[in-house]
């Protein structure tokens, strides 16, 4: 049995396919022992991969692009696409069936503080709709728990958040989803399994078995309901009520949040880079072939 240490950016229902793979036993059937921990930041995740403290990371391809932009000699590459959509939502105070993006102008808006990509994606949407970002009072760098309390006290009109925060606000009647960033942005390789070129060179056979196992989990998800998926992964989320957990999975399924196969395609990678360039995170596009390894995904899909 080969051991694979994985570091996740968040312990989140957004990464449901990872937990499905864990509980289906597909890794064990490939003779892989998987050890998982969660990073406190994107920087910690990148450092763990580069320092050999983990073999795989589950985060955004943005991690490797950040290194390239900074001129680092170190490289982090994507090998398996996990999510196919931005998993964040814009929540308002009450039902707003006629919400338009222009409604954000003049409002107080709390952004998600724990990661860069949601706001970068949302900026792309606002640019597409010709919204003057300068006309929005942006509240930044407020941790999630504090941000929710600010919203509930009426100190903001809108809040950008992920799950299960969003579903709990909706279920309690204290918030309403006015927009899905996933729907608005469209298909994008928001999250992937990441590794280093050195690990690819030395453990290609392990990575192939891992990819084949994970692809099996993706296929399983495609054929099962939100209730079945939610029940399978429940042991990893004991702090989330069953009803909320199922609602989260259902909402993510409805907007096709999770990739149905492991291949991170060039079109999506370039779209992601357009978003990052537009938001000023990177200054130019970087070569797809240098940041994405497709050999494991392609081989797994061929069976």
Sequence ranges of the domains in the chain: 2-85+187-302, 89-185
The token pair that represents 245 in the structure block: 């957990």
pLDDT at position 290 is 96
Residue 83's closest CA among 281, 253, 282, 287? 253
- Give CA separation, 176 vs 91, 155, 279, 288, in Å: 5, 16, 27, 38
Q: Do domains 2-85+187-302 and 89-185 have the same CATH topology?
A: yes
Query: Which CATH number applies to 89-185: 3.40.190.10, 3.30.2010.10, 2.40.50.140, 3.40.50.150?
Result: 3.40.190.10
What's the Cα-to-Cα distance from 108 to each of 93, 135, 152, 157, 159, rounded to whole Å?
Answer: 12, 10, 13, 5, 9
Number of other CB atoms surrounding residue 290 within 10 Å: 12
Handedness of CA 166, 169, 172, 174 (dihedral sign): negative
Spell out the residues 6+ positions from residue 274 whose beta carbon is closer than 8 angstroms to its own: 124, 285
Per-residue pLDDT tens digits of the chain, which is 303 residues long? 899 999 999 999 999 999 999 999 999 999 999 999 999 999 999 999 999 999 999 999 999 999 999 999 999 999 999 999 999 999 998 889 999 999 999 999 999 999 999 999 999 999 999 999 999 999 999 999 999 999 999 999 999 999 999 999 999 999 999 999 999 999 999 999 999 999 999 999 999 999 999 999 999 999 999 999 999 999 999 999 999 999 999 999 999 999 999 999 999 999 999 999 999 999 999 999 999 999 999 999 997
**Residue 1: its pLDDT value, please?**
87
pTM over 0.85: yes
Largest CA-CA distance found in the chain, in angstroms, rounded: 58
| Rounded distance between C-alpha atoms, residue 229 and residue 244, angstroms | 13
What CATH number belongs to 2-85+187-302? Answer: 3.40.190.10
């Amino acid at each position: 049995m080969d051991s694979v240490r994985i570091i996740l950016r968040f312990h989140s229902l957004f990464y449901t396919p990872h937990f499905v793979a864990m509980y289906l036993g597909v890794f064990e059937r490939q003779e892989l022992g998987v050890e998982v921990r969660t990073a406190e930041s994107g920087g910690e995740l990148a450092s763990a991969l580069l320092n050999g403290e983990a073999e795989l990371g589950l985060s955004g391809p943005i991690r490797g692009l950040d290194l390239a932009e900074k001129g680092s000699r170190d490289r982090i590459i994507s090998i398996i696409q996990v999510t196919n959509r931005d998993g964040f939502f814009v929540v308002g105070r009450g039902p707003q069936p006629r919400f338009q993006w222009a409604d954000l102008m003049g409002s107080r808006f709390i952004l998600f503080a724990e990661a860069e990509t949601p706001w970068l994606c949302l900026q792309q949407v606002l640019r597409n709709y010709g919204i003057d970002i300068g006309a929005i009072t942006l509240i930044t760098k407020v941790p999630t728990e504090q941000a929710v309390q600010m919203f509930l006290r009426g100190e903001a009109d809108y809040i950008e958040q992920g799950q299960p925060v969003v579903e709990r606000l909706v279920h309690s009647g204290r918030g309403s989803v006015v927009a899905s960033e996933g729907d608005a942005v469209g298909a994008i390789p928001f999250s992937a399994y990441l590794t280093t070129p050195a690990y690819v060179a030395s453990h290609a056979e392990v990575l192939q078995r891992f990819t084949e196992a994970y692809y099996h989990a993706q296929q399983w998800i495609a054929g099962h309901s939100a209730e079945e998926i939610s029940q399978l992964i429940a042991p990893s989320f004991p702090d989330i009520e069953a009803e909320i957990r199922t609602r989260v999975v259902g909402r993510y399924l409805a907007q096709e949040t999770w990739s149905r196969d492991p291949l991170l395609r060039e079109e999506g990678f370039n779209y992601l880079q357009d978003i990052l360039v537009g938001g000023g995170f990177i200054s130019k596009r970087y070569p797809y072939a240098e940041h994405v390894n497709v050999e494991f995904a392609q081989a797994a899909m061929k069976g």
